Amino acid sequence: MKLKIFIVLVILGASGFWWHQKKEAAGPGDGPLVLYGNVDIRELALGFRVAGRLESMLLEEGDRVAAGDVLARLDDRPYRDDLAVKEAQLAEAAAAFNNAEKNHLRLQNLLKNKSVAQSDYDDSLARRDELAAKVETARAMLRLSATNLDDAVLKSPSPGTVVTRVLEPGAVAPAGQTVYVVSLDDPVWVRAYVEEPDLGKVGPGRRATVRTDSGDVFSGQVGFVSPRAEFTPKSVETSSLRTSLVYRLRVVVSEPSRSLRQGMPVTVEIGGDGAPPAPAAPAADDAAPAGQSLAAGDPAADEPSTAGEEEGARDAGGGNP
């Protein structure tokens, strides 16, 4: 009986050792790595490139916007007046240039007949070139004025959702002042942190699954892993401290929806899709098969060992006089 118990203990020990070795040899693909992170969504702080008084604010917080939608307008009367002034200046410069060009051509013909001094001809040429440069300057100023007039209208560059309305109509907004904050629809990613021992499981491009607390599931992939720890305690570290450092990573969501909100906590599963095949069972002459046979419910393992009984009988017989 004691021999049977000893055999069972040996079998169980061998099985436990085999299972432990298999677990230690498991690669990154053996089961997903579960991380916890938060949703990150890009936000745009939109404002006018020119200063002015706000004439209208067309959207409220929570409104959806498409690319090119008008968000706000400035009082553009100063810019329309400036555009008219620049148009008049261009016309004046063009008229002066045309007159200088005609005068230069007249002196050029007179110079051929030696009827005018060379200095007078040179002065007319310089005057013509000077007025030609003034025409180009006036055209550039006109283009700038037209650009300023266009900038009196604030448009959304990308689709998204208005999350903050900063100013109200009537306020004077300096150039660059934030007027609206828009949360973009795309890209959407998850910011999570991974411990150093798991860095080999989160390489860029590895597929990931993002799950929200409400049950929504999204696919994605690892897009970025920080090359350094988020916090550096000191220059000399113990091995236990090094393994406690965490590294920031970014999981890009492939097809995000509006249900993903800024800062929302989510669960990320990385890997588990391409796991290597399970190792083959050990050979029949190893100690592990005995444990496998016992664990599998092999009838032969449940039957009493005849050899063990005979050996026990011989031992018992040997003990009698």
* Contact assessment for residue 150 and residue 123, using Cβ atoms and an 8 Å cutoff: no
Residue 243 has a pLDDT of: 54
- Show the 3-state SS of 110-127: HHHCCCCCHHHHHHHHHH
Residue 240 has a pLDDT of: 52
Closest CA to 164 of 183, 185, 180: 180
Residue 165 has a pLDDT of: 96
Model confidence pLDDT, tens digit, residues 76-115: 999 999 999 999 999 999 999 999 999 888 888 888 887 8
Closest CA to 144 of 82, 201, 101, 68: 82
Rounded to 5 degrees, φ, ψ at 158 are -145, 160
259 residue type, one letter? S
Closest CA to 76 of 175, 177, 152: 152
Tell me the two tokens of residue 91: 């016309």
Is the confidence at residue 218, as pLDDT, over 80? yes
Greatest mean pLDDT among 45-54, 110-119, 183-192: 45-54
Distance CA 59, CA 72 (A): 8
User: How far is Cα of residue 128 from the mean position of the Cα atoms in its chain?
Assistant: 57
Is the confidence at residue 18, as pLDDT, over 90? no
Distance CA 63, CA 84 (A): 36
Distance CA 157, CA 68 (A): 6
pTM of the predicted model over 0.85? no
pLDDT higher for 275 or 160?
160
Dihedral sign for Cα atoms in the order 148, 153, 159, 162: positive
* Contact assessment for residue 224 and residue 250, using Cβ atoms and an 8 Å cutoff: yes
Residue 64 has a pLDDT of: 95
* Domains located in the chain, CATH noted: 28-41+186-270 (2.40.30.170), 76-151 (1.10.287.470)
